[in-house]
């Protein structure tokens, strides 16, 4: 969620009940490589094949590096309509209780459910079930230059705000304690600073193999590519929570990493 923003009080599209404006082309956002695919890799990467080659645009970084980057205020995490989720409910705020988190918003509903076409609608019982509805946050302020600001910045907010996508203690635990290669949940935020990255533990050979663009160079050996593919597949399965990842896999890959160049 948007972390660095000042309050700019202006009547928003959301308050007018209008369909919320879609994002500008993702390539215009600071920190997002120009060749970042506009199609989420979920639809192009074969997670069922352990040795399928990972999407070539992924960048491989340490947690400290990733945390040194700035949020570019694209707003892709604060409403489904500025994400690239299709349909919109592929990206939600989560299960939405009847109170709609109004305690953070002066008693007025904060998280507003959206219709399939992106117009604000009233809360329904079904919004509190499953993954929740497509949404827009009523604290989101869209600026004339296309950036999005958080109207609650500096005030008490939902814990997810300020932690998204890599700033929660869960990410520390995954990378620093569990030794995971972690892929943040930015699949549908194609404009996000942290789109399509793998956060690597310090021992990862990716950190010595990567090129200046933080990607895997094409000119690696077959053994290196085999390792990259398998390790990426494990990271993907951990992110997507699809299929069990055995501790033995993690242990074997870490041992192999120490033997590789």
**Site residues for ligand SF4 per CB under 6 A:** 1-2, 71-78, 137, 139-140, 150, 152, 157-158, 161, 164-165, 189, 191-194
Computed from CA positions of residues 168, 174, 178, 180, in that sequence, does the dihedral angle turn out positive or negative?
A: negative
For the bound state, the minimum distance from the C-beta of residue 13 to ligand SF4, rounded and expressed in Å, comes to 13
For the bound state, the minimum distance from the C-beta of residue 251 to ligand SF4, rounded and expressed in Å, comes to 33
The first and second tokens of residue 78, run together, are 């604060």
Task: Please give the distance of CA 165 from its chain centroid, rounded to a whole number.
Answer: 5
Q: Helix, strand, coil: what percent of the chain each, to 5?
A: 30, 10, 60
Query: Which is nearer to ligand SF4, 14 or 228 (by Cβ)?
Result: 14
Query: Which is nearer to ligand SF4, 192 or 199 (by Cβ)?
Result: 192
Query: Which is nearer to ligand SF4, 162 or 243 (by Cβ)?
Result: 162
The first and second tokens of residue 216, run together, are 């895997």
Query: Which is nearer to ligand SF4, 172 or 249 (by Cβ)?
Result: 172
For the bound state, the minimum distance from the C-beta of residue 157 to ligand SF4, rounded and expressed in Å, comes to 5
Ramachandran angles phi, psi of 236, nearest 5°: -65, -45
Closest C-alpha among 57, 77, 250 to residue 167: 77
Q: DSSP string covering 67-134, please? A: HHSPP----TTTBGGGTT-SSGGGS-SSS--TTTTGGGTTTS--EEEB-TTS-B----GGGGSTT---
For the bound state, the minimum distance from the C-beta of residue 90 to ligand SF4, rounded and expressed in Å, comes to 15
For the bound state, the minimum distance from the C-beta of residue 179 to ligand SF4, rounded and expressed in Å, comes to 25
Query: Which is nearer to ligand SF4, 184 or 201 (by Cβ)?
Result: 184
């Amino acid at each position: 969620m948007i972390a660095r923003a000042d309050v700019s009080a202006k009547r928003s599209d959301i308050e007018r009940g209008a369909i919320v404006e879609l994002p500008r082309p993702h390539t215009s956002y600071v920190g997002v490589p120009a060749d970042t695919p506009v199609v989420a890799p979920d639809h192009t990467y074969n997670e069922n094949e352990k040795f399928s080659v990972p999407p070539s645009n992924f960048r491989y970084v340490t947690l400290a590096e990733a945390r040194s980057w700035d949020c570019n205020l694209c707003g892709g995490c604060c409403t489904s309509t500025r994400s690239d989720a299709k349909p919109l409910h592929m990206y939600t705020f989560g299960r939405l209780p009847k109170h709609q988190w109004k305690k953070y918003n002066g008693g007025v509903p904060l998280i507003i459910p959206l219709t399939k076409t992106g117009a604000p609608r009233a809360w329904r019982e079904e919004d509190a079930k499953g993954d929740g509805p497509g949404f827009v946050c009523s604290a989101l302020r869209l600026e004339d230059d296309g950036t999005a600001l958080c109207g609650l910045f500096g005030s008490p907010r939902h814990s997810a705000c300020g932690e998204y996508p890599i700033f929660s203690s869960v990410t520390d635990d995954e990378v620093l304690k569990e030794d995971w290669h972690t892929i943040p949940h930015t699949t549908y935020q194609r404009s996000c600073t942290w789109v399509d990255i793998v956060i690597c533990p310090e021992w990862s050979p990716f950190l010595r193999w990567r090129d200046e663009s933080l990607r895997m160079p094409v000119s690696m050996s077959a053994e290196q590519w085999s390792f990259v593919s398998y390790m990426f597949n494990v990271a993907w399965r951990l992110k997507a929570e699809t299929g069990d990842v055995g501790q033995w896999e993690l242990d074997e890959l870490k041992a192999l990493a120490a033997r590789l160049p």
